Amino acid sequence: MSDNTVTPAAPAAKSSLHWPTLLIGLCLVAGVAGGMAWFMHKPKVAAPVLASDKLGMSRPDGLLESHSLSQLPKDLLAVPFLKETLTEDFVFYYQTHADRLGLIGSLRRIIYEHDLKLQDSLIEQLFDQPADVALWRGADGRLKDFLLVMDRGGLAKVLEPLAKVALDDTQLSKVSEVKVGSDEVSLYQLTYNASKALIFASHADKLVVLSNPAKLYDPQSGAAEEAGSVSTSAIAALLNGDKLFPEAFGLPPRAPEVKQRLSVNASVLAMGYQRFIPNFAGLRFDMDDKGWHSFLALDEQDNQADFDFKPIWQAMPMGASACVALPLAAEQQKPLLVKLGAEDKVAQALTEHMAGAAGLCWYADSRLYTPLLVASLKDDDSGKLDGDLGKLFGSMVGAYENNVEDGAFPVVEKQEGQSHQWQRQVSSSFGPYAAKDAEDPDAITGKAFMKVSLARHASTLLFSLDDKLVDKALGTLDKRFPPMADVVPKDLLMPVYFGPDAMAQLIQQETLDSLPQDMEPVFNNAAQTYLIPKLRKLGGYGKYALTLPEGSEPDGHWQWLPLQWKAL
């Protein structure tokens, strides 16, 4: 059994069996991406031009390749952890979703009213076929629009009667034609649930469905290609059997033994900050007879930083809920820092001295939005940067305060031993400190405030919106508090750490804090009834380290590396 296989594991038991990465990897990488906005540089070589680009189809943000769409929910629940936390309701939700029921209802009405000789189980048969589904993000950043390509097999002739009623039905209409080889193939629009619609076409043994008709365009009309758009040329190529999706994720065709393959572009997980973490290309999850396997895709970059995360784990305090470490790419930080308010020479000095890797850790005794950031400088003689660091902190951190001279609280500077620390009080409704606890409560704008902190300890930089985390990290570097390095694998490349117990505590705290009983009694009770028991089960699992093979380093575009889950 491969090291990156997701297999059954008993709660709280130490085992060689590995953590189900399907949700963990997505959540952790999505969280770290938003906080890594310091780090970016340009690609070494241009990404290859895809056939789909040439045909007028925007690159998908996600891809699902399935031997049977109807089996996907059950296949996910084959992972014991997911079955315990999602329960069978996960399957029932998708079986009874309003859009699914509305679509089935519309097709059944058409079949009945036009006296078509089609079986009532048509939809179930369709969803039980091999299919590829490309997905694009909507305006809110979530995967929304999709393009489905399905092998119809024996259903090809069964579907033909639908086309004959297109000119005589209120919900089904012909909207265009595409040329597939020497054949003219009609595109149809099906309206369902009153305001929703989809485009579909069939040819030979292929069925193509586009969920959003507004995304379809004809290149010959002169219409401009937009994000998530699909041209009629791309539709024709897919109907002809061309595989346009896998190449967008650097993948070979799905092997027969792989029943499900889910690939997610870093553009989704990074929430718009992908340009700041250019090494990270995406995540993939495969399912075969041995279970689920997980993979990380990396892109090669100019002046590739070493993949050495050991300094990060030496600085991070023990007891984290979750951690992510990434290679630090400092070459083009300067324009970003200048745009954020830093002086040109300050930004230049900092970018020249950044090195190694950077990481984020979340802690149960802090908040989800106040992780600890750790980065490294090139040499131990970094004290000469303190003046620039202080100026950078003062220009980038702060808020306008109504009752404070100069509009912001002063930066408090402290130096002790190898550490130099800068701290500024900032009024915020999300702050961990109540306004009444401030030295001058009347100066606080609002009900709470935070103490944003930056510190340099020798060649290590620390930053957090929670000053207590920075203080704990300084104690760790001074060997007064144990580091994460004491509990993670010593000789393995570990980019991700996950502590289920501490993570469950953090999620529970954030959930109940956002749903106060006196203001949200219904949702609070629902969380207490359904979510908290699931979090207790989550907390029963042991700690895990996510590691990459020894010597891993990006070499080209979309290099897929197996993720190995190690029980600690």
How far apart are the C-alpha atoms of 24 and 545, rounded to whole Å? 11
Amino acid letter, 456: R
- Is residue 84 one of the residues assigned to a domain? yes
Collapsed DSSP state (helix, strand, coil) of residue 554: coil
Best-predicted range by mean pLDDT among 40-44, 344-348, 496-500, 530-534?
A: 496-500
Amino acid at 71: Q
Strand 216-217 versus strand 230-231 pairing type = parallel
* Inter-CA distances, 160 with 115, 157, 164, 167, 561, Å: 14, 5, 7, 14, 44
Cα gap 375→411, rounded to integer Å? 21
**Tell me, what's the pLDDT at 121?**
52
pLDDT band at 38 (very low <50, low <70, confident <90, very high): very low
Residue 184 lies in a domain: yes
Please say whether the beta carbons of 474 and 423 come within 8 A.
Answer: no
Do 326 and 36 touch, CB atoms closer than 8 A?
Answer: yes
Residue range 218-270, pLDDT digits in tens: 877 666 566 668 888 999 999 998 988 998 899 998 999 999 999 988 878 76
Across 498-514, average pLDDT: 88
164 occurs within a structural domain: yes
In the chain, how many domains are there? 1
CA distances from 373 to 169, 272, 315, 381 (A): 60, 19, 10, 21
Predicted confidence at residue 33, as pLDDT, reads 32
- Exposed, middle or buried, 11 (CB in 10 Å: 0-12/13-18/19+)? middle
Q: Is the pLDDT of residue 16 over 50?
A: no
Greater confidence (503 vs 98) lies with 503
Over residues 87-110, mean pLDDT = 50
In a domain, 363, yes or no: no
**pLDDT band for position 453 (cuts 50, 70, 90):** very high
Tell me the residue length of the chain.
568
Residue 357's pLDDT band (cuts 50, 70, 90): confident
Min mean pLDDT across 117-126, 209-218, 303-312, 316-325 is at 117-126
More confident: 478 or 33:
478
In a domain, 127, yes or no: yes
Could you give the CA distance from residue 557 to residue 432 in angstroms, rounded to a whole number?
42
pLDDT at 343: 76
Q: pLDDT category, 83, cuts 50, 70, 90? A: low
4 domain-assigned: no
Asked if 373 and 463 touch (Cβ cutoff 8 Å), the reply is: yes
Q: What sign for the dihedral angle of Cα 179, 183, 184, 188?
A: negative
User: pLDDT over 90 for what percent of the chain?
Assistant: 20
Question: Does position 479 have pLDDT exceeding 50, yes or no?
Answer: yes
Q: Is residue 285 part of a domain?
A: no
Is the per-residue pLDDT at 8 higher than 60? no
Structure token digits, residue 321: 């809920």
Q: List pLDDT tens digits, range 157-202.
A: 555 566 566 556 566 778 888 999 899 988 888 787 667 788 888 8
Q: Is residue 317 part of a domain?
A: no
Q: Residue 19 in contact with residue 544, Cβ under 8 Å?
A: yes
* Cβ atoms 451, 423 nearer than 8 A: yes
Neighbouring CB atoms inside 10 A of 50's CB total: 15
In terms of residue numbers, what domain contains 102?
Answer: 51-243
- Which residues 6+ apart lie within 8 Å of 248 measured at CB? 50, 52, 59, 60, 63, 134
Helices 344-353 and 386-396 meet at what angle, rounded to 10? 120
How many Å apart are CA 188 and CA 166, to the nearest integer? Answer: 8
Whether the pLDDT of residue 146 is over 60: the answer is yes
